[in-house]
Amino acid sequence: MRHVKRMLELIMGVELLIGGLLIITMVAIMVLEVIMRYVFNNSIIWVQEFVIMIFIWMVMLGGSAASMTKTHVTITTFSQRLPEKWKVVLQVFVSVIILAVLFYLLQTLPASISIQNKTKTSSLPLNIGKGHFYSTPLFAAVILMSITELYYLFYEVRMLLGKDIPEDYVLKGYQFYKKAITGGKV
């Protein structure tokens, strides 16, 4: 599982890097659009559609990264009152529900993308099917979240069975940047 953890942390680092580049790109394009519209009185027609596409990718990559670091919003009003053993049982149950939803999406998204691809983008220079525009980022995020949820479910089941788990099994996104800055030393 160490290899899986390293792979997921690498993927998360790439997601965060791409997300950061997408934010910079989105801001730069929006600034360019404001200058073109209000200074030169000549708007760029494809900016809105392109920025929407960037935003969708940012949200999906961010959702996947949040899934990897266990930083999604959680409501613990009920679970915090449970004994430790029942907290683990509840977490396994929640993970199974999440996996069921993710697997359902994996099964249904290809058909949805196919249907959406019957219409194309209207203003982008590239004629992209709307399925790739709207649902492909979701499909990619669902695949990554499924792998992540299976990783965590493995350790949750081990906890439930009373087996040892490493203390550092939770994924950390900042490791990628520390390694990049320190030349491989963390």
- Segment 28-51, tens digit of pLDDT: 999 999 999 999 998 888 888 889
- Give the per-residue pLDDT at 175: 55
Residues of the chain with pLDDT under 50: 181
Q: How far apart are CA 80 and CA 165, in angstroms?
A: 21
pLDDT in tens, 69-85: 888 788 888 888 888 88
Burial (Cβ within 10 Å: 0-12, 13-18, ≥19) of residue 179:
middle
Single-letter code of the amino acid located at 77: T
Token pair in block for residue 183? 């030349």
3-state secondary structure of 129: strand
Q: Which residues pair with 120 in a beta bridge?
A: 129
User: Residue 141: its pLDDT value, please?
Assistant: 92
What was the pLDDT predicted at 147?
93
pLDDT at 181: 47
- Is residue 128 classed exposed, middle or buried when 0-12, 13-18 and 19+ CB atoms within 10 A define those classes? middle
**Domains in the chain, number:** 1
Tell me which residue range forms the domain holding 32: 2-182
3-class DSSP state of 59: helix
What would the two tokens of residue 27 be? 């801001």
Task: Return the pLDDT at 179.
Answer: 55
Cβ-contact 51, 26 below 8 angstroms: yes
